[in-house]
Amino acid sequence: MKKRFHEMAVILFLFLVAGSCQKASDPNDETEHEAINAIDLVFKQSGAVIATFTAEDPDGDGGNPPTRIDRITLKPGQAYSMETTLRNIVNGTSKVVSSSISSQADHHEFYYIPSGINVSVTKTDKDINGYPVGFSSSWSATTAGTGSVLVKLMHKPRIKGPNDDPSKGHSDIEISFPISVQ
């Protein structure tokens, strides 16, 4: 009986040790990056910044609602270039994390999905495979109106393609901005 107990104890110990072993965190692992809980949409015309619209959700998806979502305001008949900046806010400190996501561009893609508004968005940057990313985009507002634009950053390690549906992968951040064209 003692021998059986000892064997069981050894097996349990080995099981616990094997179960607790994990590979060390790899800074180049495309599945790891800092949390994204703020996004800035920087609109430009002729290279000059004309407006920045921000959304902040300090506790991330779920939990409490976002603490800030600016209304995007554009003019009809106008074209804009737009750059997206991603941030992580922790304890009141904001850190730009765009470069870590950009370095993994072949595993990420932004989607800008207008609803109830006549706005066209085209992604203008590409990853190393020539697939769209969306940190840079061009926007054109044709007619006056109001609606929303859903901004989604999809994480798609090893599954990204050239014409992916906005539901492919999992969302790193998803915010609906109200928008007015006037």
DSSP string, 6-39: HHHHHHHHHHHHHHH--PPP-TT-TT------EE
The beta strand positions in 25-144, using DSSP E, are 38-45, 48-56, 68-69, 72-74, 78-90, 93-96, 108-115, 119-123, 136-141
Q: How many other CB atoms are found less than 10 A from the CB of residue 109? A: 24
Q: Residue 141 in contact with residue 179, Cβ under 8 Å?
A: no
Q: Residue 36 in contact with residue 87, Cβ under 8 Å?
A: yes
- The DSSP output letter for 105 is G
User: What's the pLDDT at 103?
Assistant: 95
CATH number at residue 38: 2.60.40
Domain holding 159, by residue range, is 34-181
> Looking at the domain assignment, is residue 11 inside a domain?
no
Q: Within 13 Å and on the Cβ side, how many CA atoms surround 118?
A: 10
Task: List CB contacts of 56: < 8 A, sequence separation 6 or more.
Answer: 37, 38, 66, 67, 68, 69, 89
DSSP three-state, residue 3: helix
Q: Residue 39 in contact with residue 84, Cβ under 8 Å?
A: yes
- The domain tally of the chain equals 1
Give the pLDDT of the chain (182 residues) as one tens digit per residue: 555 544 544 343 333 333 333 323 333 344 456 789 999 999 999 999 999 999 999 887 778 889 999 999 999 999 999 999 999 998 889 999 999 999 999 999 999 999 999 999 999 999 999 999 999 999 999 899 999 999 999 999 999 999 999 999 999 999 999 999 99
> Looking at the domain assignment, is residue 105 inside a domain?
yes
Q: What residue type is assigned to position 58 of the chain?
A: P
> Looking at the domain assignment, is residue 1 inside a domain?
no
> Looking at the domain assignment, is residue 15 inside a domain?
no
Does the pTM exceed 0.85? Answer: no
User: What's the pLDDT at 20?
Assistant: 32
> Looking at the domain assignment, is residue 21 inside a domain?
no
Measuring CA to CA, which residue among 117, 39, 33 is closest to residue 82? 39
- The DSSP output letter for 106 is G
> Looking at the domain assignment, is residue 17 inside a domain?
no
> Looking at the domain assignment, is residue 25 inside a domain?
no
User: What's the pLDDT at 19?
Assistant: 36
> Looking at the domain assignment, is residue 123 inside a domain?
yes
DSSP three-state, residue 94: strand
User: What's the pLDDT at 64?
Assistant: 87
User: What's the pLDDT at 63?
Assistant: 81
